[in-house]
A = this chain, B = another copy of it.
Amino acid sequence: MIRRSSEKTVETKKLFNGDGQVTLQSILNGAPEMYGKGRVFSHSILKPGCEIGWHIHHGDGETYYILKGRGLYNDNGTQVEVGPGDVTFCDTEEGHALKNNGDEDLEVIALILYK
């Protein structure tokens, strides 16, 4: 099965009351191809100054894989600088947030799997 780039669902919206907006390009969000194992597999783009606001996970965990740019990641209460190739993980009952604190777009692959 091929799903072309042009068919992807793309939304730009405020996420968890974070600063600015985030562009979410769905790869497999909630699709049957996730076999019910997760609910998000996406490619997100944060312009400088924009953020995915703080939120706590319940019943699932989320991985971010940083593709490009620089960010400030809130790792369950601890602020950490992140960049290309870094992997962050937020387990169930933990919280996280990610802000673009650089001067180029911050691009992230996100994966949410059920625990």
User: Which chain A residues numbered 37 to 56 have a C-beta less than 8 Å away from chain B?
Assistant: 37-38, 41, 43
Cα distance, A48 to B82, chains bound together (Å): 30
Interface residues on chain A, number (Cβ under 8 Å): 39
Q: Are A88 and B1 in contact (CB under 8 A)?
A: yes
A78-115 Cβ-contact flags toward B at 8 Å (1 or 0): 00101111111111000000000000000001010111
| Contact, CB under 8 Å: A85 / B25 | yes
Given the contacts A27-B63, A28-B63, A63-B27, A85 and B5 also touching, CB distance less than 8 Å: yes
For the complex formed, measure the closest distance between the CB of A87 and the CB atoms of chain B, giving whole angstroms.
4
Closest B residue to A87 by CB, please name it. Answer: B3
- Known pairs A6-B85, A28-B87, A37-B113. 20 more at Cβ < 8 A? A1-B75, A1-B88, A1-B90, A1-B91, A2-B73, A2-B75, A2-B82, A2-B86, A3-B88, A3-B89, A4-B86, A8-B87, A27-B65, A28-B89, A33-B61, A33-B63, A33-B89, A35-B61, A37-B38, A37-B114
